[in-house]
Amino acid sequence: MNFYFNNIRLYICRELTFRWIFIWRIVGNILFLLLYKGLWKSIFAGSEVLKGFTINQLMTYYILARIITLFTSTRIDRDISRTILSGNFSTLLLKPVNPLLTLATSKLATSLTRLLIFCIPIAVVSKFFFKMITPFNIISFIGFVLSLLLAFILKLNIDILAGQIAFWVRGTEAVTHLKDFVFSLFSGSLIPLAFFPNTLHIITNYLPFRMIIDLPARIYIYGLENKQIIQLGIACFWCIVLVLLNKLVYKNGIKNMIVYGG
């Protein structure tokens, strides 16, 4: 266990050496949000409320979507597939640690660093630039933090699952790009799910992608209601399913490597 904690500390120190990158990211995301604000102002066209959003609520949604996306984006799927295809995964198996858990802890360190030196500053800046609203109440904020933790676990496990495809398939780029597209569409990071057709909106209620962006943002903006509590339960369910599925895929993937001399 000490190994994994040391791994987290090591990667936090490494991330802090590239602080200037985060400054450019803050500037880039502020510009991105300015473009979105101009676009949605024209769509609102004088309306006070659209699909349950005021313009300030919608901008808060997009700010949170950007922050959550950057916090949960680990690219661990690329690292896993690259390590497997290069043959280095076999070397990692010789060490007395779990290779996937080692990679996961390094990504956790990266995400925690982003949260501290990027996500929080952009939220502060957005408070002045875009009138970002504050949480509905303290219970909503606690619910938001819990949903953010579940979002990280969900996104991490989805990415790990996509990366492990490399145990059987050498060309994993198509799978990775498809996963990214599905996530962007059904998580609400591109367009809030409230703007989806009703049937498609209902389907997204039971998919894990919504729990990563849309659920935390809605808890922050509208509060922790019974519907959101049920969604948190669904998120916990998906976390358990994906962790167990990853363990099963990993076990069979290792066997496949041994059989084919990986």
Show pLDDT as tens, one digit a residue, over the chain (262 residues): 555 556 555 555 555 566 666 677 777 777 888 888 888 888 887 778 888 888 888 888 988 998 899 889 888 898 888 888 887 787 777 777 788 888 888 888 778 877 777 777 777 777 777 778 887 688 888 999 999 999 999 999 999 999 999 888 887 788 888 999 999 889 998 889 988 888 888 888 889 999 999 999 999 998 888 889 999 999 999 999 999 999 999 999 888 775 444 4
CA-based diameter of the chain, in Å? 65
Q: Do residues 257 and 251 touch, judged by C-beta distance below 8 A? A: no
pTM for the predicted model, two decimal places? 0.86
What ranges do the domains of the chain cover? Answer: 2-259
Angle at 65 between CA 61 and CA 69, to 5 degrees: 170
